Structure 1
Amino acid sequence: MKLLLLTLAALLLLSQLTPGSTQKCWNLHGKCRHTCFRKEKIYVYCTNNKLCCVKPKYQPREKLRSF
């Protein structure tokens, strides 16, 4: 009986720790979310109307214009 309770507790804990998969975007470098984290930027919207959040190292650099 104790083994059964221990097994159920472990399965319950593992089901809470594994996050659901998120849809990828921006050449597989971004993730579709409702809100982005602090340093992430939004460039496009995903097909499911969520924001495509991209980390700074994968964000495109702005070109400098010379006049």
Structure 2
Amino acid sequence: MKLLSLTLVALLLLSQLTPGDALRCWNLHGKCRQRCSRKEKVYVYCTNGKMCCVKPKFQPKNKPWLL
């Protein structure tokens, strides 16, 4: 009975763990994902082929005199 309850507790604790975070990109301001959220934009692609989703405030600003 103790083994059963110990197994049940262990499974319950493991189900509460969250999966690892996505890989970071763009100077640790972006995340490598398959799809970006509505508030994020793609500026570069990650080495694993996924998009680097970056919030607009962390993207480089366009300088009109450097076009």
TM-score, length-normalised on structure 1? 0.73
Q: Which runs of 5+ in 1 are unaligned?
A: none
> What amino acid does structure 1 have at the position aligned with 2:25?
C
The superposition leaves residues 6-59 of structure 1 with CA deviations (integer Å, 9 ceiling, x where unpaired) of x145224313xx122211111111100000000111011100000000012212
> What amino acid does structure 1 have at the position aligned with 2:16?
L
TM-score, length-normalised on structure 2? 0.73
User: Identity over aligned residues, as a percent?
Assistant: 61
Shift of 1:3: 4.1
1:38 aligned partner: 38
> What amino acid does structure 2 have at the position aligned with 1:58?
F
1:10 aligned partner: 12
1:62 paired with 2:62, answer: yes
Name the count of aligned residue pairs: 62
CA–CA distance in 2 between the matches of 1:40 and 1:26? Answer: 13
Q: CA RMSD in A?
A: 1.9
